[in-house]
A = this chain, B = another copy of it.
């Protein structure tokens, strides 16, 4: 196994960072790695807002549900899906582009995922730790206002970067049999049996990690996760921003 694959396979989220800043040159390399990712039809729909302002950092801690490392990490970025830039360029050519299609929302969102994951791998290859912050979507309107995001730009997630001050265990993943299917979709009884075994492994992981305080399987976590409403404002928010109106 080569060193890059080793880095990829050893990912854990880091939520505690040292004070060490990130060298400007390394930061450029990380961002440039992000930009080098594939982009759907060359749309390049990612915009990265780098948050240095400490008032904004503190406000973002609250807006993301009290995640203090949003303030304490060396670098915090809000990764946005951006079709506004394209729209402006196309308008200047005298055309009337239409960016309201669900397909465009989808493509822009995927673009951001590929860009961000390249940033993550670049950062980890240099010894940094990372944490994605989906909580940026807890209050997307307030985040958009604070960061002055125009129409056709929305915050997909945040990203913390910094030197790790903790060394958590890797979380076990679903068995490959459940995730990789041959030629067609397959959730057979044998695959389901593998998931049952996996549920036990996840339980054991939590028991070990919490000295027996927490005992929860993956399926139980998924049940909790899918109970109730899931950011029920999201569709309206996105449509108001000009996305996926049709």
Contacts and interface: CB of A to CB of B under 8 A. Distances in A.
Interface of A: 1-5, 7-11, 13, 28-33, 35-38, 40-44, 46-53, 56, 80, 84-90, 92-93, 95, 97-99, 101-104, 106-107, 109-110, 112-114, 116-118, 120-122, 125-126, 130, 132, 134, 137, 146-150, 153, 156-157, 170-171, 173-174, 176, 178-185, 187, 192, 195, 218-223, 225-227, 229-232, 234-235, 238, 244, 246
A30 B149 CA distance: 36
Given A103-B231, A103-B234, A33 B49 contact: no
A183 to B, nearest CB: 5
Contacts of A46: 179
A118 B114 CA distance: 9
Contacts of A2: 125-126
Contacts of A244: 102, 235, 244
Given A5-B29, A90-B226, A114-B120, 13 more contacts: A2-B125, A9-B29, A42-B221, A48-B179, A50-B180, A50-B183, A51-B183, A85-B187, A95-B223, A97-B223, A106-B156, A110-B156, A110-B157
11 contacts: A35-B176, A47-B185, A50-B183, A88-B187, A89-B223, A90-B222, A93-B219, A106-B234, A109-B113, A117-B118, A147-B185
Nearest to A170: B36
A122 B33 contact: no
Contacts of A219: 89-90, 92-93
A113 B184 CA distance: 20
A3 B3 contact: yes
Contacts of A38: 11, 13, 120, 130, 132
Contacts of A32: 9, 176
A233 to B, nearest CB: 9
Contacts of A30: 5
Given A147-B185, A185-B147, A102 B35 contact: no
A176 B179 CA distance: 36
A28 B22 CA distance: 34
A101 B229 contact: yes
B9 A33 contact: yes
B50 A184 contact: no
Contact of A230 (B31, B103, B170): B103
